[in-house]
Amino acid sequence: MVRKLEVFWRRISEGIAIQDLWAQFRADARSGYQFYYKEVDSQPLEKESGWHRFWRIARGLFWAMMTKLSPGRRVLLLIALVLLVFPEFRFLWGGNEINTAGLNFWGGVLLLMLLALELSDRVTMKRDLEIAREIQSWLMPSQAPSFPGVDIAFATRPANTVAGDYYDAFLRPNGRLLVAVADVAGKSVPAALLTATLQASLRTLAALDCELPELVARVNRYACEQSLQGRRFTTAFLAELEPGTGFLTYVNAGHNWPVLRHAAGTIERLEAGGLPLGINQALPYGSGTTTMAGGDLLLIFTDGLVEAEDDKANEYGEERMMQVLPSLATASAAEAVKNVIASVDKFVGPTRQHDDITCLVLRMT
């Protein structure tokens, strides 16, 4: 019997320790509360206090959850809650007293039915999202291109099943190495679809004979056609590295400033460029230049990395990221990516990730 209970518990918990399960639950509870609380009108709550504030929040959360259900399931939930709260009714019928005890059992059954219906929807959606993630993984490069004197590595971690972050590295017909990291506004499926169109347009336009600023301007014109009047803009960083010389031309389209750490330890931030893609179709883009020598390391990242939060809503921040850089002085590109991500994970702990995280490292050897 004890053995069966152990097997049952292992199957339920997947071998996760109790303290980790509790940490997971707290993270999920906090994330769920924040999800529903966004729909609670907090303006009147500022004037409330004590129990009045508690009940206003509870009522707001209740309606926020109810509106996520279909009308039929809302009625089912309401009946289940009534039966659980009032498990027994007594009334007179034809001169006889009728006692309906044990209604809480049927309330539990109705809740279980509702849970089963919601789970079936979630499993179906998850299966579709898994297929979408598989397709997205085909579109993204699985390994960096081989390029003499350059070591490249990248890593991405979606907040949901599919991501709105995009990274790429490939050789253009002019013989230069093109490196790109982008972040489409939003998350999940809508952002992932725009990421796919961004990749297709960049790959197609990069085959044309044009300089990097013109390439970015053409990608921007295409992005403006897909951006729902600027509501789905994309921040991006694109750079071209010339073989042999290490000369780097780059355009920063509203993206987080990448960090170039020279072998001597000096830091350079790459910020020249313009607005995010998809906002202004006629916008010209400026470019910046720098030169990378042996031992130099370029770190490109999306905002999900520096804006990662712990369970107290403290951000990881660029300051902590910069503190990791000295330890990457002799690390390979793959080791550098691993160490940066590990630093974020250590800070965040079990808190659920709220944004896509992408990191690309280019090191001159």
Q: Render pLDDT for 208-222 as a digit per residue (tens, 0 to 9).
A: 989 999 999 999 998
> Per the domain annotation, does 64 fall within a domain?
no
DSSP letters, 140-171, are S-SSPPPBTTEEEEEEEE-SSSS-SEEEEEEE
Helices (H), the chain: 2-13, 18-37, 50-66, 71-85, 103-139, 188-206, 212-226, 303-306, 317-324, 333-348
pLDDT in tens, 294-325: 999 999 999 999 999 888 889 999 999 999 99
CA geometry: angle 133, 219, 182, nearest 5 deg: 45
pLDDT digits (tens, 9 = 90+) for 241-295: 998 899 999 999 999 999 999 999 999 999 999 999 999 888 889 999 999 999 9
Say if 262 falls within a structural domain: yes
- pTM of the predicted model, to two decimals? 0.74
Number of domains in the chain: 2
Range of the domain at 300: 144-364
Judged against a pLDDT cut of 80, whether residue 230 lies above it is answered with: no
User: Count of CB atoms within 10 A of residue 163's CB?
Assistant: 27
Are 349 and 215 contained in the same domain? yes
What pLDDT was estimated at residue 229?
A: 63
Across residues 328-349, what is the average pLDDT?
92
What's the pLDDT score for residue 12?
A: 76
The pLDDT value recorded for residue 124 is 77
Q: Is 30 part of any domain?
A: yes
Residue 45 predicted with pLDDT over 60: no
Band (94; pLDDT cuts 50, 70, 90): low
Structure confidence at residue 344 (pLDDT): 95
Query: 330 vs 124, which has greater pLDDT?
Result: 330
Residue 220 lies in a domain: yes
**Domain membership flag for residue 339:** yes
Within 10 Å of residue 278's Cβ, how many Cβ atoms?
Answer: 30
Instruction: Answer yes or no: are the C-beta atoms of 232 and 200 closer than 8 Å.
Output: no
Residues 165 and 302 placed together within one structural domain of the fold: yes
Q: What is the mean pLDDT of the chain?
A: 85
**In this structure, is residue 89 part of a structural domain?**
no
Residue 1 falls inside a structural domain: yes
pLDDT category at 228 given cuts 50, 70, 90 is: low
Same domain, residue pair 31 and 151: no
The CATH number of whichever domain residue 315 belongs to comes to: 3.60.40.10
Q: Is 310 domain-assigned?
A: yes
